[in-house]
Amino acid sequence: MKKKLLFFSSKKYEIEFFNEFNKNFGFDISYLDIRLDSSTVILANGYDGVCCFVHDELNSKVLDKLKSYNINIVVLRCAGYNNVDLKRAFENKIHILRVPIYSPHAVAEHTVALILALNRKIHKAYIRVKELNFDITGFLGFDLYKKTAGVIGTGNIGKIVAKILKLGFEMEVLAYDPKPDYNFSNSIGIKYTDLNEIFEKSDIITLHCPLTKDTYHILNEQSFEKMKKGVMIINTSRGGLIDTKSLIKYLKNNKIGYAGLDVYEEEEEYFFEDFSTKGISDDTLARLLTFPNVLITSHQAFFTKEALENIALTSLNNFKSFFNGLPLENEICYKCGQERTSCNKQKLGRCF
């Protein structure tokens, strides 16, 4: 019998890709446009697996319910997993798989697009010219050449951003990562350093790290105080990396000159949805939208044809590997993160 899969938070643009690739897999897929949480998890009863996105809740209550429905596989069609209680998933023997690399180029290129748009006021110029106003007053930018960029996090995305800024724009690039890759840095001529030097010397700071207890609010009042006046802040990773209220404070006093955000701390209620006729009740987000030097996009950095193809293919292959008893190369495991040497994943390709 075909394995039955339930997709939460599904959008038309991704369903088309999944349906096309599923012709070669043969799963019985149902799609819901609602988020997974403790009130909607009951809809998963009777399915063999569920597929989730960044705003779906996989807390202990939800995971306990999935286990009671004999669901032992959850596939995240994204790279981040800060929305998952990994410890409870491990206790329930629910395998959590993700798409670790869907298109690092997509996110990196969007990062650079935000930098260029903010610097040269492209978003403002477009509106002004559409109104037949060809005055360029207020659109003064600066050369990126020889300026200093701080790249926090040098995984796949951060490395591509660093290469574009260093080799493409000839910027000076400082990088921070708890596990620096010196072969990479030496090959393109960037410097690994600590966060303090990045805060103090960078004209542009861009975030490319996962959201963990160690990186939560990595940009906060204390770090903003150390930065250059007029610094540009870019975040295409996770909203919780920035203390948004502190960001607003330093935008108001002009210490921060620009902010380009593809993510927001409390985005779950709003991003990917249409509020154009309803308005929003989030005062913090509303305040951010009032700043002329803030450019917000709706978690779309990943959104390219190539990325959606990779997400669909990898997600379906994750399900196939699980149901066929194969090694789970994209599995996330609580025990792996804590006691890697004692994890069965080393021997069996699975955490349990």
Given the residues 55, 77, 88, 299, select the one marked as catalytic.
Answer: 299
Determine the length of the chain: 352
Please, which residues bridge with residue 28 across strands? 4
Give the Cα separation of 167 and 85 in Å (integer): 40
28 half-sphere exposure, CB direction, 13 A CA radius: 7
The order of strands in the sheet holding 191-192 is 191-192, 172-176, 148-152, 204-207, 231-235, 256-261, 294-296
Sign, CA dihedral 84-86-92-93, equals: positive
Given the residues 238, 265, 331, 350, select the one marked as catalytic.
Answer: 238
Tokens read off for 169: 């724009």
Dump strand ranges (E) for the chain.
4-7, 28-31, 49-52, 73-76, 95-97, 148-152, 172-176, 191-192, 204-207, 231-235, 256-261, 294-296, 331-332
Whose CA is closest to 162, among 215, 210, 104?
Answer: 104
Given the residues 14, 57, 265, 267, select the one marked as catalytic.
Answer: 267
Residues 6+ apart with CB under 8 A from 138: 121, 124
User: What is the H or E stretch that residue 14 is in?
Assistant: helix 12-22
267 a catalytic residue: yes
In the chain, the N- to C-terminal Cα span, in Å, equals: 25
Whose CA is closest to 203, among 169, 253, 236, 242?
Answer: 169
Q: Are the beta carbons of 2 and 26 closer than 8 angstroms? A: yes
Q: What angle do CA 323, 327, 331 make, to 5 degrees?
A: 90
Residue in the structure block whose two tokens are 């190539």: 306
208 a catalytic residue: no
Which residues are designated catalytic? Answer: 238, 267, 299
